Every structure is written in structure tokens, then in C-alpha cells.
């Protein structure tokens, strides 16, 4: 068998790398976090086959936010698994096509072109998420700033935090989204302060490498940067 295209980053959590990361979580109810760009469905299917799992074992596809690089394979993964799609109430209208994409100007033509190339259609959201909702052992934390309905997922049992695009990890430092990708910095700072109050060991990001040591310290350092 060739080199696998997934990595077990924590017991029962598998990361698929790319322009953006997405994840398979085997829990009391197995779920996927984000879906990456178009064309990622085969990677998930390969992983499930390798683990002796069926696509039907996945109950939910959780979207950390509505941006295209996190929802690009949503249609196909939905078709493969039959899973419900879960997104925060403030982002789901963009996923379902009821609102058009609001984001950096430079992203709009790229998103439109990719939609045409991959024949991507809006997808109806099955589960509207709110702050405090539960997905298996994970709690939804509403973290607006990057998008209105950005969410994190936190599990107090294994102290894993999925952050989507709220943070990226580079050269030992957690960074916020860059200026054009942070339309609401005031709410973003409040959101990150919420994350500073929980006990975290592992941070799984939408871009870049996972944080596996000093997670709490790194979040506190980010908060200092934001308040500077």
C-alpha cells in the first residue's frame, strides 16, 4: 500500500492536509470537521477503508465556517456518507446559497471560478448550530470575527480544540487571520478571550500544523498580541 494521505494527530482523530486541513473524528458519533477544497472525497474514502470503517459511520459534517476552501468537497462528502451538515446559524445562509459570499474582494472571482469548474451547488444545512451545542463529546463555541458564524469545537475529555481559521500555527507562534481575512477584529478578540478560559492540550487548525504542546500558553500569548 502506498503512503497514506492522512495522519492520526490524536487518538481517533485523523488529519487530511492540503491548502486547508480537514479532519475525521471517531467518537461516540463519528463526524468530519470541514471538507477542504474540491476533490478531497477520495482521501476520506481511502482513510475509512484503511480503518475498516464505512462512510455510513459518519453522522455529521461540521463546518467551522462557510469559506470555500473549507466547504469545497461538501457536496461529494455528503453524497458519500449521507451525513447531516452542521453549521452555525450566522454562516449557514452562505452555505445554502441564500446569501452571497461576503469576504475579501480578491477571493470572490476565485470562488466563482472554482464553483464553475467543480460544478458546486449550494447545500442545505441540516443542523443549525448555536453556542453550547454538542457534537458527540465536543461543545460548539461560537467565535465570530473571521466570519459571523465561525465556530470552534472543544472536547473537555481529551482537551482537543478545533479552531478552523481562527488561528494558524507557524514557527512556534499562533497567529490570527490576516487583516483582509478579519473583517470583525473586535468580536474576534472577544472570541479568542473565550478560548483563553478553557484548558487545551491540542489545537487543530484549518491551515498548517497542529499544536501539541504548550497550547494554553500559546493562546495566552496570542491574546497579549491582540491586546497590544
Degrees to nearest 5, angle at CA 180 with 17 and 196: 65
Every domain of the chain and the residues it spans: 7-227
Q: Is the pLDDT reported for residue 106 higher than 80?
A: no
Vertex 135 angle, CA 134 and 141, to 5°: 55
158 compared with 180, residue with greater pLDDT: 158
Q: What average pLDDT does range 71-91 have in this prediction? A: 95
User: In b/e form, how buried is each residue of 86-99, taking b as 16+ CB within 10 angstroms?
Assistant: bbbebbbbbbeeee
What is the three-state SS of the chain?
A: CCCCCCEEEECCEEEECCCCCEEEECCCCEEEECCCCCCCHHHHHHHHHHCCCCHHHEEEEECCCCCHHHHCCHHHHHHHHCCEEEEECCCHHHHCCCCCCCCCCCHHHHHHHHHHHCCCCCCCCCEEECCCCEECCEEEEECCCCCCCCEEEEECCCCEEEEECCCEEECCEEECCCHHHCCCHHHHHHHHHHHCCCCCCEEEECCECCECCCHHHHHHHHHHHHHC
Q: What superfamily in CATH does domain 7-227 come from?
A: Ribonuclease Z/Hydroxyacylglutathione hydrolase-like (3.60.15.10)
- Place 1 in a pLDDT band, splitting at 50, 70 and 90: very low
Burial of 146 (0-12, 13-18, 19+ CB in 10 A): buried
> Using 50, 70 and 90 to split pLDDT, how confident is the model at 94?
confident
The Cα 182–Cα 75 span in angstroms is: 27
Q: Is the pLDDT of residue 190 over 60?
A: yes
Higher local confidence (pLDDT), 122 or 147: 147
Residue 3: pLDDT band (50, 70, 90) is low
Q: For residue 147, which of 223, 88, 219, 96 has the smallest C-alpha distance?
A: 88
Amino acid at each position: 500500500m502506498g503512503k497514506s494521505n492522512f495522519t492520526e494527530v490524536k487518538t481517533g482523530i485523523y488529519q487530511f492536509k492540503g491548502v486547508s486541513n480537514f479532519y475525521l473524528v471517531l467518537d461516540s458519533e463519528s463526524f468530519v470537521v470541514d471538507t477542504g477544497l474540491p476533490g478531497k472525497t477520495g482521501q476520506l474514502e481511502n482513510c475509512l477503508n484503511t480503518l475498516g470503517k464505512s462512510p455510513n459511520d459518519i453522522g455529521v459534517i461540521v463546518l467551522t465556517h462557510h469559506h470555500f476552501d473549507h466547504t469545497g468537497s461538501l457536496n461529494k462528502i455528503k453524497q458519500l456518507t449521507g451525513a447531516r451538515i452542521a453549521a452555525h446559524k450566522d454562516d449557514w445562509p452562505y452555505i445554502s446559497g441564500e446569501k452571497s459570499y461576503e469576504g475579501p474582494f480578491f477571493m470572490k472571482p476565485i470562488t466563482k471560478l472554482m464553483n464553475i469548474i467543480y460544478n458546486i451547488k449550494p447545500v442545505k444545512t441540516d443542523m443549525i448550530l448555536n453556542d453550547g451545542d454538542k457534537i458527540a463529546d465536543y461543545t460548539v463555541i461560537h467565535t465570530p470575527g473571521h466570519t459571523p458564524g465561525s465556530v470552534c469545537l472543544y472536547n473537555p475529555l481529551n482537551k482537543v480544540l478545533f479552531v478552523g481559521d481562527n488561528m494558524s500555527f507557524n514557527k512556534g507562534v499562533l497567529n490570527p487571520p490576516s487583516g483582509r481575512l478579519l473583517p470583525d477584529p473586535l468580536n474576534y478578540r472577544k472570541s479568542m478571550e473565550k478560548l483563553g478560559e478553557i484548558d487545551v492540550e491540542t489545537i487543530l487548525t484549518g491551515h498548517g500544523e497542529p499544536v501539541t504542546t504548550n497550547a494554553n500558553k500559546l493562546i495566552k500569548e496570542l491574546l497579549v498580541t491582540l491586546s497590544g
